[in-house]
A and B are shown apart, each in its own frame.
Chain A
Amino acid sequence: MNNLTITQARKDLDEKKISSLELTKSYLETIKKHNQELNAFITITEKEAIVQAESADLRIAKGQSTPLLGIPVALKDLYMTKGIRTTAGSKVLENYMGQYDATTVMLLKEAGAVIVGKTNLDAWAHGSSGENSDFGPTKNPYKTEYVPGGSSSGSPVAVATEMTLAASGTDTGGSIRLPASFCNVVGLKPTYGRVSRYGVIAMASSLDSIGHFTKTVEDNAMYLSITAGSYPMDATTPPVAVPQYTKNINAGVKGLKIGVPKEYFIEGLDPQIKSMTEKTLGWYEEQGAQLVEISLPHTSYAIEVYYIIQTAEVSSNLARYTGVRFGHDRTFFGDEAKRRIMLGTYVLSAGYYDAYYKKAMQVRTLLKQDFEEAFKKVDVIITPASPTLPWKLGEKTADPLAMYLSDIFTVHANLVGVPGLSVPMGFIDGLPVGMQILGPHFSEEKLFQVGHAFESANPIWKTRPELKTEN
């Protein structure tokens, strides 16, 4: 199964070279073999997956072929799944049984996907490294003493290690783009509202984007064609048409205007990542794209604004977890959740609201204007996905502020609502490095074209981690 993509698996399934059951069993086998070491999954849904695979095989036998029919996928354990434990990575929901399927889960099931399990994450999606999970940290498969990035920590690891062909995640401040970059996979944070949030446990409702990880850009585009759309259970999904995102993926980058924001190439950015990004930009220029230096003048405020708005919404969203009707009581919240509840409660309190929350919302408007101005001049913006390489487990856990700063290049897109695609760019010291491609609202098709162009010429993704054969 090495380096199998959804596109290839689809072909193999349709040509009956392999059955969904065989495919599914092979992935379940890998999970069983490596999960103990990598801790990518909280729950493995073997029984359900076998049933779904068998049913997919029946449909394939009848000549049906939909893009995800019989394809093994995994879900971040923030996605509500009926009859399957849904923990949010927190002990509070340690034994919580999902009461209904999230809209995306329903869409994936309808498309015939086989769900192999629920992946690990920072509890309540609070974190950038996966280390805040109450179920133990996930390990970076390229160097297991390093973090895989977070909060969607298990999903990219599962994709990188052939435990699944694709995995869902959520991105509130970089929780898809950062771990994708750390694990050498492709990760998309769609436009806010492009994919329904219904049934995905809320972290910060005005920032949460529902995206996913795949090995290649093409797979990623295909997956979004299934999950995107306006759905009645989420009032923030506008009726914008969903294109076949793979259709024009080979459009190339000739004549494309790429914005390079000067505020992102600053002190604090790892010099090796800086030069790799410049090399990548150089490659685009060689292909006929035009590089344009731009300014996003309020960038330096983004992280502050983010940690006010995000914590405010977190403090409200976590209020329902009282243990009165379900789950454990509040003493089961971890330190990071408690920290955010306290910060959020403070910034919303009478007497502080104007100085913090209201001011942050005003700056958020300025941040939006930064992007509006920029996208008058350029088609996309390219930046590194992370200012640093993956760090060692435990390195930043004692310093929450240092951890918060790892999102410095990603939070901006969440505050503004624009999409961002993380695409593998190369390796430094044996650790993966990704770039971030940003575009205007609902420009995912363009992002896929730009990412696919680079990936086709530079198939970094094919460098898979070497896993220990036996535990």
Chain B
Amino acid sequence: MNKYTPIIGLEVHVELKTQSKMFCSCSADYFGAEPNSHTCPVCLGLPGALPVPNQQAIEWCIKIALALNCEINLFSKFDRKNYFYPDLPKGYQISQYDLPFGKNGHITLKDGRKFGITRVHMEEDTGKLMHQNVDGVKTSLIDFNRSSVPLVEIVTEPDFHNSADVKEYLQALQQIVRYLEVSNADMDKGDMRLEPNISLSTNPDLSKLPNYKVEVKNINSFRFVEKAIEYELKRQEKLLEEGQTPPQETRGWNEVKSITFSQRVKEEANDYRYFPEPDIPPIIHTPEKIDALRDSLPELQNKKANRFVTDHNIPLNDAEILTRERSLADYFEKAVEHGLTKNVSSRQIANAIINKKLNHLEITLENLISDIAEGAKVETLDDSELAAIITKVLAENSKAVEDYKAGKESVIMFLVGQCMRAIGRKVEVSLIKTAIENSLKP
């Protein structure tokens, strides 16, 4: 076993899909919009403008915290995080410092292992810098459409020890915010931004953290997070082997070269001079309000998959596929209900959806059920007819039968096709295939 144990924690930013921005009434749906068309004095940070918090965003942030089993701070507040950057129009970002909406939560991965969630807090996004040539001059342009769009930051404990668990966590987190319908969590639109903190420990007591950590900033795909972690672990191990402690620093990810690169070392780290945001009164919630939000949470994927196994008598594998997206899971359950009247079982429906890779958004429940019912007729009504056709087809295609028996199993689909032509109706392919296989068994 390796003498180094990877210690990994994650910071994930999730952009919420509220109608309006975090602190003003501008539309938060900025993707593809004309630059600076979704702006006002507040999100432009003009003199005299004041932030007014978006209640919907706060509720959604709390829902995420609840879904991650967090304790909720009933007395919470916003704070100013002061730093200079041209995409930050006020010279500070409104965020949460010592009283985040959620804290001390956890997430359970498929095999039952729990990973700690340190905090879930609310903040605002920044504008976007673009460096372009304008009339032959290198120019930096700023688009403030994204400025003040609500962001939720989710910070984990340093509980991860390999990149595979990290990936599973990220997928689970993406699934949760999608289930809650609070974010599209589209990686390619920047709805989810990922920052792993990585270090290597030689201490058998893993609660004693290494004396350094490396943060890799703003990665926008799960695969890149895996790669960045793998790269960092190798890089840091090499340094440690050489007797050096890797410097505490922030690194960026170069996706072309698949390497991380140094951006800022600890000595240059910002002092953000956090203090309570005086423009926004403290946010106070009653326990009743939090209970109501908790009650409003939808059944999440893990729970739903397990329930599908018991309620609908389908294998866990199938249940997991059917619950990947909440809309598909809902579709399946409606189909099951609908199928009851037509004598179509939940298993048949699950098979139909999974095997045919149906786009549930395009096929109505009625069509789905009647298709399955049609397909099922072959099985129940025409067993003997099917047997006769198979016998005939096999006799007419003795070459293919020989090939199959000689081990060339791919010809089976040719035989299936011949049978289907002879039947002349739409039938269940898997049924014919199984019947042929059975009759060809030695």
Chain A contact residues, CB within 8 Å of chain B: 79-80, 86, 88, 93, 96, 99-100, 102, 197-202, 204-206, 232-236, 312-313, 315-316, 318-322, 324-326, 345, 348-350, 353, 357, 361
- Considering the complex, give the chain B residue whose CB is closest to the CB of A206: B278
Q: Which of B48, B84, B90, B281 contacts A236 (CB 8 A)?
A: B281
The answer to whether B45 and A205 have CB atoms under 8 Å apart is no
For the complex, count residues of B whose C-beta is within 8 A of A: 29
Given contacts A319-B92, A322-B91, A324-B86, is CB(A235)–CB(B281) below 8 Å? Answer: yes
Q: Which of B47, B89, B273 contacts A88 (CB 8 A)?
A: B47
B358 CB within 8 Å of chain A: no
Q: Which of A198, A325, A357 contacts B275 (CB 8 A)?
A: A357
A sample of 28 cross-chain residue pairs with beta-carbon separation below 8 angstroms, ordered by A number, consists of: A80-B47, A100-B46, A198-B49, A199-B41, A199-B48, A234-B52, A235-B50, A235-B52, A236-B280, A312-B275, A315-B82, A315-B273, A316-B82, A316-B91, A316-B92, A319-B82, A319-B84, A320-B89, A320-B90, A322-B84, A324-B86, A325-B89, A325-B142, A345-B273, A348-B274, A349-B271, A350-B271, A357-B275
Contacts of B193 in A (CB 8 A): none
**Cα–Cα, bound, A236→B51 (Å):** 10
Nearest CB on B from A194, distance (A): 14
Q: Which of B48, B86, B276, B278 contacts A198 (CB 8 A)?
A: B48
**Cα–Cα, bound, A205→B280 (Å):** 10
Residue in A80, A198, A320 with the greatest tally of chain B CB atoms within 10 Å: A320
**Cα–Cα, bound, A319→B45 (Å):** 10
- Considering the complex, give the chain B residue whose CB is closest to the CB of A344: B273
**Cα–Cα, bound, A11→B82 (Å):** 52
Nearest CB on A from B374, distance (A): 58
Query: How many A-B Cβ pairs are below 8 Å?
Result: 92
Q: Enumerate the 5 nearest inter-chain pairs by beta-carbon distance, A residue then B residue, closest first.
A: A319-B91, A206-B278, A348-B273, A205-B278, A199-B48
Nearest CB on B from A26, distance (A): 31
B53 CB within 8 Å of chain A: yes
**Cα–Cα, bound, A361→B274 (Å):** 14
Interface string of B61-92 (1 = CB under 8 A from A): 00000000000000000001010101001111
Contacts of B274 in A (CB 8 A): 348, 353
B279 CB within 8 Å of chain A: yes
**Cα–Cα, bound, A170→B302 (Å):** 57
Contacts of B92 in A (CB 8 A): 316, 319
Nearest CB on B from A232, distance (A): 7
Contacts of A93 in B (CB 8 A): 47
Q: Which of A80, A88, A234, A316 contacts B80 (CB 8 A)?
A: A316
Nearest CB on B from A315, distance (A): 8
**Cα–Cα, bound, A102→B46 (Å):** 12
- Considering the complex, give the chain A residue whose CB is closest to the CB of B89: A320
Nearest CB on B from A95, distance (A): 13
The answer to whether B45 and A320 have CB atoms under 8 Å apart is yes
Chain B contact residues, CB within 8 Å of chain A: 41, 44-53, 80, 82, 84, 86, 89-92, 142, 271, 273-276, 278-281
The answer to whether B273 and A316 have CB atoms under 8 Å apart is yes
Residue in B52, B86, B89, B279 with the greatest tally of chain A CB atoms within 10 Å: B279
Contacts of A361 in B (CB 8 A): 276
Nearest CB on B from A425, distance (A): 33
Contacts of A80 in B (CB 8 A): 46-48
Residue in B47, B50, B271 with the greatest tally of chain A CB atoms within 10 Å: B47
Given contacts A313-B278, A316-B275, A320-B91, is CB(A233)–CB(B47) below 8 Å? Answer: no
Contacts of A326 in B (CB 8 A): 46
Contacts of B91 in A (CB 8 A): 316, 318-320, 322
Interface of B is mostly: loop
Nearest CB on B from A348, distance (A): 4
Contacts of A204 in B (CB 8 A): 278
Q: Which of A315, A319, A345, A353 contacts B90 (CB 8 A)?
A: A319
Contacts of A99 in B (CB 8 A): 41, 46
The answer to whether B82 and A320 have CB atoms under 8 Å apart is no
Contacts of B271 in A (CB 8 A): 349-350
Given contacts A312-B275, A357-B275, is CB(A86)–CB(B90) below 8 Å? Answer: no
Contacts of A232 in B (CB 8 A): 52
**Cα–Cα, bound, A202→B45 (Å):** 12
Contacts of A312 in B (CB 8 A): 275
**Cα–Cα, bound, A199→B86 (Å):** 22
The answer to whether B41 and A100 have CB atoms under 8 Å apart is yes
Contacts of B41 in A (CB 8 A): 99-100, 199
**Cα–Cα, bound, A236→B279 (Å):** 7
Contacts of B52 in A (CB 8 A): 232-235
Contacts of A349 in B (CB 8 A): 271, 273
Contacts of A315 in B (CB 8 A): 82, 273
Nearest CB on B from A443, distance (A): 20
**Cα–Cα, bound, A316→B53 (Å):** 19
The answer to whether B82 and A205 have CB atoms under 8 Å apart is no
Contacts of B44 in A (CB 8 A): 325
Nearest CB on B from A109, distance (A): 16
Nearest CB on B from A387, distance (A): 28
Q: Which of B47, B51, B278 contacts A96 (CB 8 A)?
A: B47
**Cα–Cα, bound, A45→B84 (Å):** 36
**Cα–Cα, bound, A87→B61 (Å):** 39
- With A233-B52, A234-B50 known, 4 other A-B pairs at CB within 8 A are A200-B48, A313-B278, A321-B47, A322-B91
**Cα–Cα, bound, A270→B29 (Å):** 61
**Cα–Cα, bound, A318→B82 (Å):** 11
**Cα–Cα, bound, A79→B48 (Å):** 8
Nearest CB on A from B267, distance (A): 14
- Considering the complex, give the chain A residue whose CB is closest to the CB of B81: A316
Nearest CB on A from B64, distance (A): 23
The answer to whether B82 and A348 have CB atoms under 8 Å apart is yes
Contacts of B86 in A (CB 8 A): 324
Nearest CB on A from B89, distance (A): 6
Contacts of B89 in A (CB 8 A): 320, 325
**Cα–Cα, bound, A139→B194 (Å):** 59
**Cα–Cα, bound, A273→B70 (Å):** 60
Contacts of A199 in B (CB 8 A): 41, 48-49
**Cα–Cα, bound, A200→B51 (Å):** 13
The answer to whether B46 and A235 have CB atoms under 8 Å apart is no
Contacts of A235 in B (CB 8 A): 50-53, 279-281
Contacts of A205 in B (CB 8 A): 278-279
Contacts of B84 in A (CB 8 A): 319, 322
**Cα–Cα, bound, A445→B389 (Å):** 98
Contacts of B142 in A (CB 8 A): 325
**Cα–Cα, bound, A199→B274 (Å):** 24
The answer to whether A202 and B273 have CB atoms under 8 Å apart is no
Contacts of A325 in B (CB 8 A): 44, 89, 142
The answer to whether A86 and B47 have CB atoms under 8 Å apart is yes
- Considering the complex, give the chain A residue whose CB is closest to the CB of B140: A324
**Cα–Cα, bound, A234→B23 (Å):** 11
**Cα–Cα, bound, A102→B51 (Å):** 14
